Amino acid sequence: MSVNSKILEKIRNDITGKNIKLLIVTKTRSQEDIIQLIKMGYSDFAENRVQEAQNKYLDIILNKDIKLNLIGPLQSNKVKQALKLFDTIQSVDRVKIVNEIVKYVDNNSKTKNFYIQINIGQEPQKSGIMPDDFETFYKYCIDKKLKIAGIMCIPPQDKDPRHFFEKMNRIKNDVNKKLTLSMGMSSDYKIAIDYNTNEIRVGSLIFS
* C-alpha span between 62 and 64 (Å, rounded): 6
Mean pLDDT computed over every residue of the chain = 96
Contact 1, 204 (CB under 8 A): no
Q: 43 pLDDT band (50/70/90 cuts)?
A: very high
Contact 206, 4 (CB under 8 A): yes
pLDDT higher than 70, residue 1: no
List the one residue out of 141, 158, 155, 142 whose CA is nearest residue 189.
155
Q: What is the pLDDT of residue 71?
A: 98
Q: What is the pLDDT of residue 58?
A: 92
Model pLDDT for residues 148-157, shown as the tens digit of each residue: 999 999 999 9
CATH classification code of 5-202? 3.20.20.10
pLDDT higher than 90, residue 110: yes
List the one residue out of 136, 145, 89, 85 whose CA is nearest residue 116.
89
Question: Mean pLDDT throughout 125-138?
Answer: 97
pLDDT higher than 90, residue 182: yes
Q: What is the pLDDT of residue 175?
A: 96
148 forms bridges with which residues in the sheet?
114
* C-alpha span between 138 and 205 (Å, rounded): 32
Contact 46, 26 (CB under 8 A): yes
Model pLDDT for residues 63-86, shown as the tens digit of each residue: 889 999 999 999 999 999 999 999
Contact 90, 129 (CB under 8 A): no
* 4, 20, 35, 107, 152 from 167: Cα distances, Å: 32, 19, 37, 34, 12
Contact 71, 116 (CB under 8 A): no
